[in-house]
Structure 1
Amino acid sequence: MHEFTRGGHGAEYVKTDLHVHTPGSHDYRDNVPPEDLVEAFEAEGLELVALTDHDCPGWYEEVVDAAEDTDLEILPGVEITTHYGSERRIHVTAVFPPNRADDVNHVLSQIDINPADAEGQHSDEDIEDIYRTVREYDGLPILAHIDERAGAHHEIERSNPIKDDLFDEDLVAALEIVNDETRGEFDGFPFIRSSDAHGLDDIGERYTFMKMTEPSFEGLRTALADPESRISLENTLHEHPSIDGVFCDGEFLQNRGACLDASKSG
């Protein structure tokens, strides 16, 4: 974890992107070094980024090394191709704490994906088993871009009974959406937006603000557990006034001041 230097006290909104690819994915468009990715993250004001290459750990270690002298927090992750769907198979992203980065390979192996030869692979495991395996390694399973291609809502008919298994409120940590209207289709889930960046130009296209004390996996977990007060998909965050200090005039408290160590919060 890099030293957190943003001003203020308590929880603040952090700009996050939990679905970003690198040249470690077979379909990444740009041949760039990890330093260019880090520069693009910083240029877009991102503070918490999850790297989710297709069915492999991808460039996590390389990007973490490149971000060493920045305030960015980079989380390990993966985008898992399931056997659900037809021509376009449904995708699930999984985000892990940094201390479980080495376990991404173990997760993939347990769901019968060979991360050393990821292109064209998919897991034949039941979706509930994929979710549970991710959670066994402290990961957060997220249904990816549900309202676009390879997304569970887009690819599976409403009447298909498998949809209840896919949208399991007890196992799915969040739903990633592209269109705001999709929120009205589901209850009981946190919603996030992510770029699904497959090139430098995609970074910053979509993102989510999450309130946390510092950019971290634990901050992410807390925000997903309390989405109404800690997650915002809006571009503009409103600041609320707060009391920074009190100065007393009169009686025995004459000319005494006290700093309350408070700050503005979104």
Structure 2
Amino acid sequence: MNTNLQECVLEPNGARFFRGDLHIHSYRASHDVPDSSMTPAEIIATAVQEKLAIIAIADHNEISNVSEAMAEGNAAGVLVVPAVELSTPEGHLLCYLPDIDRLTQFHGRLSLAGRGTQESRCRSTMRECLDLAKDLSGFCILAHVDGGNGYETNHPGGAPAKQDIICHPALLGIELVNAASVVTFAPGDPDPARVQLGRFRNAQLGYGEKQALARVLNSDSHRLTALGRNASEAKKLTRYKMTKPTFEGLRHALEEGDSRIRLEDEIPNSTPFVLGASFVGGFLKDQRIHFSSNLNCIIGGRGTGKSTTFEAVRCLAGDRSKERVVDSEVWPEALHLFWQDEAGTQHSLIRPIHEDLLNLDNNDGGPVNFEIDCFGQGEAARVREEAREDPLALMRYLDTFSCRRARRRRASSQRP
């Protein structure tokens, strides 16, 4: 890897998405796991292989393998969230606690019958379980809500008792059998009763109009080969956005599910993105930026270098900017830019002042730009002023972006 690129990617770049599987069963603790290889050690080893940063062993009404799994996960760099799946009278409920001590307290205060047998069940009501989880700073997710023994399957409609569950502050999400499920408890859900329950939830808990229960996919794996896959056997689970994997980071992701949770079924397999920028000389001398593959915000007061940073990244678009800051006295003597293409190949580029970009990895025809639609602060100000006299000025400006996309689509379709 290019030395400058190495230095860039070592810089912090904020929160990112981590892959998680929050519903895994283990041998002996769950009565219906026939796979003797589903031990805590093997589960952690498979989690590492499947690039899972966050997992939870949530056995049926039992917690005997959680402590060992947490120790194995700590050694391997995998966050193991203390958890249990309860077969309550109303349906299955996934419960997550901050640490093993509170999981043990939680488990000990439940009314459980048939421990360790095929008839094991939780006699505590779902409401009681949610109350207890809240008291111990935990949270819960409705398990396979649209499948067998799922809460929505067992209790369709909008009964008052159901409102108590959906509006409970300890309930943060719903687990789906597959990503195509229509169950959301939010606008767009085809069931008016569920939509109404979602509105009640937001009103009762003081949430914003667009907030909703987080929707997640897990493996619900009972054998090692299923771990890391959803119920349809696809290698598509859920990603959670946080600075680093922690219990509170996971809670926050579920609370802000619209921006911090992504079902992998809904994510493109690969997209190009900017990796970083490094400045040699100029106003931003010796500065390095490691960009996130998600949202990046450049924030600062007047004269702090926002425009220089923006125009530097804009060089990757291929079109020369007309902004005065480019190649001015504050512009870097040498600008290093790094990006990663759809195939995962990383490209290191350099742009000496007053010159064009050069691909350092392949200076004989290597790519020096990729498709980016962008406009600067100066352009936006000019268009805004023009629009005062000519309302169509904004439309013409926006049309330039749609025309570029159309040209790119045509060019792509003509490639051999």
Normalised to the residue count of structure 1, the TM-score between the two structures is 0.83
Q: Match of 1:47?
A: 53
Q: Match of 1:82?
A: 88
User: Aligned letter for 1:232?
Assistant: R
Contact 1:109 1:115 in 2 (8 A): no
Q: Over residues 126-173 of structure 1, what are the superposed CA-to-partner deviations in whole Å (9 max), with x where a residue is unaligned?
A: 322210101211211110010110101122232655432332253311
> Are 1:17 and 2:21 matched, yes or no?
yes
Q: Over residues 80-114 of structure 1, what are the superposed CA-to-partner deviations in whole Å (9 max), with x where a residue is unaligned?
A: 11112xxxxx10001122xx212323213323126
Deviation at 1:200, TM superposition (A): 0.4
CA distance in 2: counterparts of 1:14 and 1:239, whole angstroms: 19
CA distance in 2: counterparts of 1:131 and 1:137, whole angstroms: 10
> 1:50-199 residue pairs with structure 2 within 5 A?
50-84=56-90, 90-97=91-98, 100-113=99-112, 117=116, 119-158=118-157, 160-168=159-167, 170-183=169-182, 185-187=184-186, 188-199=212-223
> Are 1:27 and 2:32 matched, yes or no?
yes
Deviation at 1:244, TM superposition (A): 3.0
CA distance in 2: counterparts of 1:258 and 1:245, whole angstroms: 7
Contact 1:15 1:46 in 2 (8 A): yes
Structure 2 CA distance for partners of 1:143 and 1:64, relative to 1, 3 Å: same
Q: Match of 2:285?
A: 257
CA distance in 2: counterparts of 1:75 and 1:9, whole angstroms: 25
Identify the structure with the greater helix proportion: 2
Structure 2 CA distance for partners of 1:115 and 1:37, relative to 1, 3 Å: farther
Contact 1:105 1:115 in 2 (8 A): no
Aligned residues: 249
Kindly report the root-mean-square deviation, in angstroms, between the aligned alpha carbons of the 2 structures. Answer: 2.5
**SS of residue in 1 equivalent to 2:122:** coil
Structure 2 unmatched runs, 5+ = 1-8, 187-211, 231-236, 295-416
Normalised to the residue count of structure 2, the TM-score between the two structures is 0.55
1:201 to 225, 232, 240: 225
Identity of aligned residues (%): 24
CA distance in 2: counterparts of 1:226 and 1:40, whole angstroms: 29
Deviation at 1:118, TM superposition (A): 6.2
1:245 to 278, 285, 302: 278
**SS of residue in 2 equivalent to 1:257:** coil
Q: Over residues 46-100 of structure 1, what are the superposed CA-to-partner deviations in whole Å (9 max), with x where a residue is unaligned?
A: 110011111111311222333343121111100011112xxxxx10001122xx2
Deviation at 1:242, TM superposition (A): 6.4
Moved more, 178-187 or 104-113: 178-187
4+ residue segments displaced more than 6 Å: none
Q: Please tell me whether Structure 1 or Structure 2 has the larger radius of gyration of its CA atoms.
A: 2
Structure 2 CA distance for partners of 1:227 and 1:183, relative to 1, 3 Å: farther
